[in-house]
């Protein structure tokens, strides 16, 4: 009976009575081949799209080695394992610069990227047999350690994603690949060499006693805070919305705008306070602008600077029903260029004689005063009487403009005196 070669390692299996005188040599060779099968081997891959791994029958062959380093090549190559009836395990080291794909024929294949290492096995079922990735789905119940500085942990059939150890620094995710959570919409990504993106579908929550941001902070959405926001060096914003009723500053508060500054109280008062004490209001209602002093009997004072000296231009005495005290002359524009239809007041003396000067007590203050009665002046010189837009339609008199009547009345009296003196 002729010798045969067993599938797995292609060892010479002697038939009964075979090998007379050479049995020992064959046996020793088989033992050497077994040793080779448990050892390390190196072989060059053809620089072509296809190549074969063939375990020689009963002869030394590097392809038989359990740990096999493949070199050479230069392009992606499909390597067929022959004979395809061999059932065997390899630690396969791809030291070429291209991906190597291992097959037994039409069955499932295994690809090893350039520089990669895999443990593969064949099932020996012929051309339809499967090449297995032995460590696929590896489950480690204890510690798993890459015990080397600069170790690289690769992911994917082509190792497109890696984690690289840097001694004393940490782990680096390669290139612009993402570290995703739940789905692709939630991730951390080094978008470039200088930009780090943190993205979430809905919310990113940072929980800490202190979150320290060193550098500029740019926000294109809405910042919502349920706690205190402290900015020791100031806050610079293009637009600010305060959804609350109080803005407090412990030092000077400066509003610096290139354009307009708008205070809009929606018809309610703008309150002026000092150390919490309500001092006054500004109100705009029905297009009427009102400045109101709140504290009883306190004046409203208008001050300015005259050549470097502080002056009080006008004081409105609220303890005297708003009596006005001007620091200097009170004038009104009377330029002829501002007037038209200029005529002499006719019968001024007659009209002045109808005016009544009275002494009275002002109800609001209880103080004595002198003047005229607006209702009486309305009958004589209605243009001198103004009606207020209050509930009473309160009347006021333009006392200054009575002067025109007095001048013309005096002139009429003077003319009569001269006439009498001439007789």
For 258-315, how does the pLDDT look when each residue is reduced to its tens digit (9 = 90+)? 889 888 888 788 888 888 888 888 888 777 888 888 888 888 899 999 999 999 999 9
Q: If you average pLDDT over each of 205-219, 264-278, 337-351, which comes out highest?
A: 337-351
Q: Where are the strands (E) in 95-249, listed by range?
A: 100-103, 110-112, 117-123, 131-133, 152-155, 161-166, 170-173, 178-181, 183-190, 196-199
Tell me if residue 1 falls in helix, strand or coil.
Answer: coil
- CA 111 to chain centroid: 45
Pair (18, 56) in one structural domain: yes
pLDDT band at 53 (very low <50, low <70, confident <90, very high): very high
Residues 11 and 82 in one domain: yes
Query: What pLDDT band is residue 1 in, cutting at 50, 70 and 90?
Result: very low
Q: β-strands 100-103, 110-112: how paired?
A: antiparallel
| 186 lies in some domain | no
Mean pLDDT value of segment 96-106: 95
Look at residues 86, 116, 133 and tell me which one is the last residue of a structural domain: 133
CA dihedral 400, 402, 407, 412 (to 10 degrees): 180
**In a domain? residue 257:** no
Q: Are residues 121 and 22 both part of a single domain?
A: yes
Claim to verify: residue 67 and residue 120 sit in the same structural domain = yes
- Answer yes or no: do 107 and 85 share one domain: yes
Residue 282 bridge partners (DSSP): 270, 291
305 and 382 part of one domain: no
Is residue 153 scored above 90 in pLDDT?
no
Give the residue-averaged pLDDT of 315-338: 86
Domain count, the chain: 3
pLDDT for residue 193 is more than 90: no
Percent of the chain at pLDDT > 70 equals 95
Domain membership flag for residue 153: no
CA distances from 28 to 19, 38, 39 (A): 13, 16, 17
What range defines the domain where residue 365 resides? Answer: 343-422
Please list, in sequence order, all residues whose beta carbon lies within 8 angstroms of the beta carbon of residue 191, skipping any fewer than 6 positions away: 176, 197
Same domain, 350 and 407: yes
Distance CA 122, CA 55 (A): 13
Residues 36 and 120 in one domain: yes
Structural domain contains residue 180: no
Q: Which of these ranges, 3-7, 233-237, 256-260, has the smallest mean pLDDT?
A: 233-237
pLDDT score of 191 more than 90: no
**Whole-model pTM?**
0.48
The answer to whether residue 275 sits within a structural domain is no
Q: What is the mean pLDDT of the chain?
A: 87
Q: Which of 83, 109, 133 is the last residue of a domain?
A: 133
Does 272 fall in a domain? no
CA dist 12 and 4 (Å) reads: 6
Please indicate, yes or no, whether residues 324 and 348 belong to a single structural domain of this protein. no
> Is 100 exposed, middle or buried (CB count within 10 Å of its CB: 0-12, 13-18, 19+)?
buried
Question: Distance between CA atoms of 284 and 144, rounded to whole angstroms?
Answer: 75
CB-count exposure of residue 305 (10 Å: 0-12, 13-18, 19+): exposed
Q: What is the mean pLDDT of residues 143-166?
A: 83
pLDDT of residue 243: 58
pLDDT of residue 72: 94
For the chain, what is the largest distance between any 2 Cα atoms, rounded to a whole number of angstroms? 186
Greater confidence, 100 or 319?
100
What does the pLDDT average to over 145-163?
82
CB burial class (10 A; 0-12, 13-18, 19+) of residue 348?
A: buried
Strand 161-166 versus strand 270-274 pairing type: unpaired
91 found inside a domain:
yes
Nearest to 249 by CA among 261, 269, 232: 232
Q: State whether 312 and 358 are in the same domain.
A: no
């Amino acid at each position: 009976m002729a010798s045969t070669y067993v599938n797995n390692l292609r060892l010479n299996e002697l038939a009964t009575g075979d090998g007379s005188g050479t049995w020992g040599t064959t046996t020793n060779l088989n033992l050497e081949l077994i040793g080779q099968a448990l050892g390390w081997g190196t072989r060059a891959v053809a620089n072509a799209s296809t190549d074969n791994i063939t375990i020689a029958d009963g002869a030394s062959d590097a392809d038989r080695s359990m740990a096999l380093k493949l070199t050479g090549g230069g392009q992606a190559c499909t390597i067929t394992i022959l004979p395809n009836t061999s059932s065997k395990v390899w630690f396969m080291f791809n030291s070429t610069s291209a991906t190597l794909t291992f097959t037994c024929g039409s069955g499932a294949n295994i690809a090893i990227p350039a520089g990669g290492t895999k443990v593969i096995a064949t099932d020996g079922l012929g051309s339809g047999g499967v090449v297995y990735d032995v460590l696929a789905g590896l489950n480690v119940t204890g510690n798993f350690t890459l015990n080397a500085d600069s170790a690289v942990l690769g992911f994917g059939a082509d190792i497109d994603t890696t984690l690289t150890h840097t001694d004393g620094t940490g782990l680096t995710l390669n290139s612009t690949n993402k570290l995703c959570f739940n789905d692709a919409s939630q991730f951390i990504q080094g978008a470039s060499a200088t930009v780090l993106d943190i993205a979430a579908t809905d919310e990113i929550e940072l929980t800490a006693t202190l979150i320290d941001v060193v550098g500029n902070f740019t926000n294109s959405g809405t910042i919502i805070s349920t706690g205190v926001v402290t900015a020791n060096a100031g806050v610079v914003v293009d637009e600010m919305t305060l959804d609350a009723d109080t803005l407090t500053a412990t030092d000077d508060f400066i509003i610096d705008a290139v354009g307009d500054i708008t205070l809009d109280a929606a018809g309610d008062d703008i309150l002026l306070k000092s150390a919490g004490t309500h001092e006054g209001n500004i109100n705009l209602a029905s297009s009427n602008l009102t400045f109101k002093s709140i504290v009883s009997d306190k004046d409203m004072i208008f001050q300015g600077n005259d050549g470097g000296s502080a002056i009080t231009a006008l004081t409105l005495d609220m303890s005297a029903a708003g009596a006005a005290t001007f620091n200097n002359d009170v004038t009104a524009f009377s330029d002829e260029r501002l007037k038209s239809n200029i005529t002499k007041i006719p019968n001024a003396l007659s009209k002045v004689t109808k005016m009544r000067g009275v002494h009275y007590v002002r109800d609001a203050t209880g103080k004595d005063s002198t003047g005229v009665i607006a209702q009486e002046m309305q009958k004589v010189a209605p243009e001198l009487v103004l009606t207020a837009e209050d509930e009473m339609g309160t009347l006021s008199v333009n006392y200054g403009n009575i002067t025109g009547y007095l001048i013309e009345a005096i002139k009429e009296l003077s003319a009569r005196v001269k006439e009498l003196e001439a007789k």
